[in-house]
């Protein structure tokens, strides 16, 4: 039984491979958005109002893709073996992995709120979205700050 449990850690490779495929798809998605936005800038001579939102969406796409790549590397490092990568790119325990996820969620929410701010149509809905985003961000930041284990 001990051997089976010790070898079962290699099941994490399923998650690593799946995350790598998702990261590749997300980078491709960001690249397509970049190409479409570049074409929009050229075709409209930079006068289209949607360009700013598109550029923010590109940043968001690559942010998500990078986060997925970090999770794949960290999952590998936690369960399979050592990787030679910058320390900031790896989580060395499950708490650090959850903290990285929390940080990434806060960043993505901030980008999404900025997109809504630029589209500004319903100010009351924008206020509600801002309050909700702030509350969730505060909880996630508090989790990272107070939940830290030495």
Dihedral sign (CA 119, 122, 124, 125): negative
Residue 39 pLDDT greater than 90, yes or no: yes
Q: What is the CA radius of gyration of the chain?
A: 19
pLDDT tens string 56-65: 889 989 989 9
Structure tokens at 61: 């796409």
pLDDT tens string 17-37: 999 999 999 999 999 999 999
């Amino acid at each position: 039984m001990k051997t089976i449990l010790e070898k079962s850690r290699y099941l994490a490779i399923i998650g690593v491979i799946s995350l790598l495929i998702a990261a590749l798809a997300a980078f491709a998605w960001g690249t397509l958005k970049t190409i479409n936005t570049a074409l929009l800038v050229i075709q409209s001579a930079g006068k289209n109002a949607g360009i700013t939102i598109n550029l923010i969406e590109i940043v968001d796409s690559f942010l998500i893709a990078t986060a997925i790549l970090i999770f794949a590397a960290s999952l590998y490092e936690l369960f399979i073996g050592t990787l030679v990568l910058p320390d900031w790119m790896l989580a060395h325990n499950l708490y650090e992995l959850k903290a990285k996820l929390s940080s990434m969620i806060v960043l993505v929410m901030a980008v999404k709120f900025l997109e809504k701010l630029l589209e500004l149509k319903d100010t009351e809905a924008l206020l509600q979205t801002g309050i909700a985003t702030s509350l969730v961000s505060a909880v996630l930041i508090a989790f990272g700050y107070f939940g830290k284990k030495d």
